[in-house]
Structure 1
Amino acid sequence: MNTRPPIVQSLLENDLYKFTMWQALLHSHPGAQAEYAFVCRNTPAYPLAELKQDIEAELDALCSLNFSRDELDYLRGLRFIKSDFVDFLSLFRFQRHFISVTTEGDTLKIEAKGPLVHVMGFEIFVLYIVNELYFRRLPTGDDILAEARRRLQDKIRLLQQHKTELAAGDAEPFIFFDFGLRRRYSGAWQEEVVGTLLESVPEHFRGTSNVHLARKFGTTPIGTMAHEYLQAYQSFGFRLRDFQKAALEGWVQEYRGDLGIALTDVVGMNAFLDDFDLYFAKLFDGLRHDSGDPVAWGEKVLDHYQRLRIDPASKRLVFSDGLNIPRAIELYRHFRGRIGTSFGIGTDLTNDTPHKALNIVMKITSCNGQPVAKLSDSPGKTLCDDQTFLAYLRQVFNHPHPTGPGEPS
């Protein structure tokens, strides 16, 4: 009999951008219906279907939780969180009948269906539940964590060796954040990583997307928007060609200057920049990279700001696609003195162990009864079951058909 406590101990242990998108969509489209689906993009060490019973039990426990008064007070203290949203969260509880776990052979299937403002919150919890259950069945001896700690210290030493350069003199210092909640090795390990980095390199490590840990350590919770926010706007009755502008405008109206980093890769960078005109370029503080070549992407952003006669030095690039510390430092060096930069590092911080990390996602697949999709600039990241809609989306946004492995044909 399993006597371990449930993996999810607090509803606050979610990425900040889940709360910010949740608030925006509750205010703008409270009646929307959505579907989310779990996908594993790489080959696990054993079939994930074996975890079905344990996942069911963890979801039962998740759906018994409420936000505590202290957690709600913490959220209320964030200036961009509105009091009516906190009131909503005070009544909120996940509904078990909105999420199902099934198997097809060795394949694990997890689907959430129901009101968008109820089912969108499942994603991050499902991902770190699956991760922690998966790694518990692999060898977990002291040597695993010893090696993980050695690798973490290597990262810290690298930062300390380049301390003078990364302080940047008259430029902005090298800054990075923990974005590793969804694919962490375990909750205890992520907490150790965040605490160690805050103690060892506070001049570089400035916060985490994990709201629970940000509260616990008194550091900054980090995040703005993810793909699902913009994808949902594909179903909200706007002309499809205008959905990005409608989503960005909705964000501006909700946050009035706060949380000013926009995500660029929902239908490709070129299509995003077509929509990111002088109005949005002045209103948003910067942009986040999550697919495609990061140097080419950043150079496009610089050119775009310069064409609009906006000083790039007044803006920021946030890089968050499969980063590690050495690659983040390379990008920092490339753009230093030209535009502000910061770096969200996920799996390489919270799941750098001798075990191969899972590449798992849980993405929105439909909203209001129609398909939604992301057209990634990286092969393998597009996710849509409706090939007709995918082809139409490519046509509308003149997005090239992928040539890399893993994309739909």
Structure 2
Amino acid sequence: MIVSSLLDTDLYKFSMMQVVLHQYPAAQVEYRFKCRNPGVNLVPYIEEIRRELDALCTLRFSDSELEYLRGWRFIKSDFVDFLALFQLNTKYVDITPSPLNNGEIEIRIQGPWLHTILFEVPLLAIVNEVYFRNTHPDLDLSEGRRRLREKISLLRDTPGYIDCRIADYGTRRRFSRQWHREVAETLHEGLGPQLAGTSNVWLAWQLGLRPLGTLAHEYLQAHQALGPRLRDSQVAALEAWAKEYRGDLGIALSDVYGLTAFLRDFDMYFCKLFDGTRHDSGDPFAWGERVLAHYEANRVDPRSKILVFSDGLDVPKVMKLYEHFHGRCQLAFGVGTNITNDVGPVPLNIVIKMVRCNGQPVAKLSDSPGKNMCQDDAYIAYLRQVFDIPMQAELEPAA
């Protein structure tokens, strides 16, 4: 059994799920899977993935897990009470070969947002582990351990970086659950306070690490169908978040419509209200410069705000960003695939994205066109017009 606890997911799934329970309990959504690696044949593993999905859907939160969640300052008691009754259901998930017969698979998750939001991260972890344990069943992890030690040494032993801290953001694309735990333990032991924490709630609980995360793209995408009107959807999403958390979990995600559209909505009120912003597409140096200038233009001291970088990072890139922005603002770095699936074989670049909410298409138009995913070209054109987003490269088709 690959996933043996419902805590084995990223923190932002719980923080978003609480908002859904309190503000959007009737919302209906659809997610689709995409493997961006060319030539990867996942079809032979469909039955094994289905068996792991069946096992996932037998899990319930234990009393000790619920008590751990209840101890978080931003989790409300009624949400924990709901989780005590919660169980994932296979009826919301379909896994089939692509009709194109090209080795791709289609994973479609459709149902109430409240009852499907927790599928994404464990399902991606399942696909990863099933694939690698079949394609590399006897892989010697000594190379992965050597690479991990080098990363730790580089960050820990290079003069001038003692205050540079990284976090584990690698649950979705990890090589395996066992390797993920070994990585987290090794980072904890090797980096000490330079390990800020982990996005994985189960590992945070088991290892005494700080769980990290706020919200994901799906939250802002859903508001395209939940807000008062499309143009106000980003503002509505941020205001709903502030209503729920009253200043806690204050990191805003900036790239659902691209940075220019984000900054138009992220006015002085939001600049002061939110603790910082997260980068997840486009040039991180250019992004950071524009965000810092935006804070200054809104009479906010950038040194009081956090820039969170989380897009395809490795340790050398973290160090370059730290060197560039250190002293000008507070910094946080989330490193994912490069620490949890850097063991030799090429990692899978797989995602599960929300594509519809309440029967309407939703989309992400980030500063990296290859990350975009939508099924409706007419909606994309309309979205670009509403948010005044210039044309970019062709959108990645949904699975």
TM range (shorter): over 0.9
Give the fraction of aligned pairs with identical amino acids, expressed as a percent: 55
Secondary structure at the residue paired with 1:102? strand
Please say if 1:288 is aligned against 2:288: no
Asked whether the equivalents of residues 381 and 407 of structure 1 are also in contact (C-alpha less than 8 Å), the reply is: no
Question: In structure 2, do the counterparts of structure 1 residues 237 and 198 end up closer, same or farther at CA, with 3 Å as the change threshold?
Answer: closer
Asked whether the equivalents of residues 379 and 407 of structure 1 are also in contact (C-alpha less than 8 Å), the reply is: no
| Counterpart selection for 1:149 from 145, 148, 153 | 145
C-alpha distance in structure 2 between counterparts of 1:290 and 1:87, whole Å: 33
User: What is the TM-score normalised by the length of structure 2?
Assistant: 0.97
C-alpha distance in structure 2 between counterparts of 1:129 and 1:304, whole Å: 41
User: What is the TM-score normalised by the length of structure 1?
Assistant: 0.95
What one-letter code is carried by the residue in structure 1 that aligns with 2:118? G
Match of 1:3 in 2: none
What one-letter code is carried by the residue in structure 2 that aligns with 1:7? I
C-alpha distance in structure 1 between counterparts of 2:395 and 2:267, whole Å: 33
Please say if 1:206 is aligned against 2:196: yes
Please say if 1:138 is aligned against 2:135: yes
| Counterpart selection for 2:241 from 221, 229, 251 | 251
Q: CA RMSD in A?
A: 1.2
Secondary structure at the residue paired with 1:231? helix
Match of 2:93 in 1: 99
Match of 2:20 in 1: 25
Please say if 1:89 is aligned against 2:80: no
C-alpha distance in structure 2 between counterparts of 1:156 and 1:90, whole Å: 38
Please say if 1:41 is aligned against 2:13: no
Runs (4 or more) in structure 1 with deviation over 2 Å come to 139-143, 403-408
Question: In structure 2, do the counterparts of structure 1 residues 8 and 407 end up closer, same or farther at CA, with 3 Å as the change threshold?
Answer: closer
What one-letter code is carried by the residue in structure 1 that aligns with 2:357? C
What one-letter code is carried by the residue in structure 2 that aligns with 1:190? H
Unpaired runs of at least 5, structure 2: none
Aligned length: 395
Equivalent positions of 1:200-239 (< 5 A) are 200-239=190-229
Question: In structure 2, do the counterparts of structure 1 residues 370 and 406 end up closer, same or farther at CA, with 3 Å as the change threshold?
Answer: closer
Unpaired runs of at least 5, structure 1: 1-5, 168-172
Please say if 1:61 is aligned against 2:55: yes
Match of 1:160 in 2: 156
Cα deviation digits, residues 23-52 of structure 1 (max 9, x gap) = 0111111000000111101125x4111111
Match of 1:189 in 2: 179
Match of 2:301 in 1: 311
Secondary structure at the residue paired with 1:395? helix
What one-letter code is carried by the residue in structure 2 that aligns with 1:56? R
Asked whether the equivalents of residues 230 and 243 of structure 1 are also in contact (C-alpha less than 8 Å), the reply is: yes
Shift of 1:140: 3.5
C-alpha distance in structure 2 between counterparts of 1:116 and 1:101, whole Å: 19
Shift of 1:336: 0.6
Please say if 1:392 is aligned against 2:382: yes
C-alpha distance in structure 2 between counterparts of 1:351 and 1:151, whole Å: 11
Shift of 1:139: 2.4
Cα deviation digits, residues 87-106 of structure 1 (max 9, x gap) = 01000011111111111222
Asked whether the equivalents of residues 217 and 364 of structure 2 are also in contact (C-alpha less than 8 Å), the reply is: yes
Cα deviation digits, residues 311-360 of structure 1 (max 9, x gap) = 00000000000000000000000001101111000000100021000000
Secondary structure at the residue paired with 2:347? coil
